[in-house]
Chains A and B, each alone.
Chain A
Amino acid sequence: MISRRAQPWLGTLVDIVAEGADAAALIAASDRAFARVAAVHAEMSFQAADSLLSRVNREARHDWIELSPDLSAVFAAALRFAHASDGLFDPSVAAMLVDSGHLPRHAGFPLAAESDWRAIELDGDRVRYASPLLVDLSGIAKGYAVDAALASLREAGLSAATVNAGGDLARFGDSATPVHVRLPHLPSHSLRLAELKNGAAATSAGYFQPDALRHPRTGETLCAHTSVTVLAGDCMTADALTKVVAADPPHAPDVLARWNAQAIVIDGERVMRSGADGWHDLPQEET
């Protein structure tokens, strides 16, 4: 038996497919999974002035702020990815997006925030900013929410489940299912580029929000005409690494290898896949 539902969360549609023997159990399990997504959304929304993250952005410049277990996990992961990628993944890049009007400047936010992830001081479950910062965790919070929802579905003892939040998807199950990636030039069309059994895929692309993704150092718009898909063990990692690949493709394979992840880039008519020794064009096949 399969239950498939979708609800609007995280600024996109979250689609949950749950497979198991009992219909009522599937509904109850997907209810709990959506509740996990809703909780992560409520805490980590940059857009909502009353989220815990917005409180941190208002107050952490002045004092240590206590975080929830979810939020401290995501702050810790953000710093880990920022460190490993030497700032190619940068949770403090929001200042730039606030200045350009892509993100709101809530009352109480610093007027001149910097982009400097090293100024985020995390001590267990509390955080402090060493300089005026605006942290946006949306680069990994969506992936984290997908992982949290999937974990709750796994705990429910289902045979298989998939959570897809606007293209950040993760699943578990006994059989592999195909993963499709949209064509950046023709997003109504998609290519079948992977088979997924247990793991995650995340795609960053500019086709629906042309200049939302920026290079943390230069501010340059990324992924205007390309898409980056990362396949990894969990969705938060896949989500974070798409930003690393988009910002610096030549150096990305090293970072990807560290997490046992792989990337597929669609650029115009080319499709490239990362390998241990760099990027390779995928040949086209007649099917």
Chain B
Amino acid sequence: MSNTPDWLILPVACVPLFAAAPAFAVQYMTAETAQKLMFPEATAFAAHPVRLDDAQKRVVEKAARVRMRHPEQPVWQAVANGKPVGWFVLDEVYGKHEFITYAVALDLSGSVRGVEILDYRETHGGEVRNPKWRAQFEGKRHGAPLRLDEDIRNISGATLSCKHISEGVRRVLAIHEVALK
């Protein structure tokens, strides 16, 4: 079989001695851009922040099976030519190593119209199991240029699971049920 396939991939000949990027972060878009992307027909977005009272918070936590850290939720009503067309809910979730800001678009009946990631950040700390392996990079990394968005664009190897986003969307749906209907 030919060694020159019609696609082009070149594995490196040597392993770089330093490992790049002590953190992986991508800023996808602003909330405003996400609003226009998720409700292209909307002519206005009216701020409609939700603040749950204790009873509503308990209902949401029970329905969504997740704890709510804050009783406030930033919400906008998308309006097209004076008529409401849906809700734009801004939310963030964080796990042990990741912090994700995302938006959920709901139609008027409360069905999910879309989920869009705005900002993804990984922060790692305590998971180092091999101090020797780590030590060889610590020194080398110092001074190495770090171009997060350009250089570390293509990471092959599992990103963290989106379990927290699934939980977050469940919570947003429960908030709609108690506060936006």
Contacts and interface: CB of A to CB of B under 8 A. Distances in A.
Nearest to B128: A186
A8 B116 CA distance: 8
A185 B156 contact: no
B124 A188 contact: yes
A121 to B, nearest CB: 30
Contacts of B3: 260
A193 B115 CA distance: 32
B132 to A, nearest CB: 8
Given A186-B127, A231-B11, A284-B17, A180 B152 contact: yes
Interface string A185-215: 1111111111111110111010111000000
Contacts of A8: 102, 115, 117, 162, 165-166
Interface residues of A, number: 68
Interface stretch (B23-31, B64-72, B82-90, B170-178): B23-31
A185 B129 contact: yes
A6 B117 contact: yes
B153 interface: yes
| Chief secondary structure at chain B's binding surface | loop
Given A183-B133, A257-B1, A190 B157 contact: yes
A186 B134 contact: yes
A115 interface: no
Given A6-B117, A176-B8, A189 B19 contact: yes
Contacts of B159: 12-13, 166-167
A269 interface: yes
B80 interface: no
A85 interface: no
B124 A201 contact: no
Contact of A188 (B21, B120, B130): B21
B14 A285 contact: yes
Contacts of B13: 282-283
Contacts of B114: 7
Contacts, number: 207
A5 B29 contact: yes
Interface in B135-161: 136-137, 151-161
Contacts of B16: 191-192, 284-285, 287
B22 interface: yes
A282 B12 contact: yes
Nearest to B162: A8
Nearest to B10: A195
A238 to B, nearest CB: 9
Interface of B: 1-3, 5-24, 26, 28-29, 37, 97, 102, 114-117, 120, 122-124, 127-130, 132-134, 136-137, 151-162, 165-166
11 contacts: A4-B28, A6-B116, A12-B159, A166-B159, A178-B154, A180-B21, A185-B129, A186-B137, A188-B22, A201-B154, A232-B9
Interface of A: 4-8, 11-13, 15, 17, 27, 162, 164, 166-169, 171, 176-183, 185-199, 201-203, 205, 207-209, 227, 229, 231-233, 257-258, 260, 262, 264, 268-269, 271, 273, 282-287
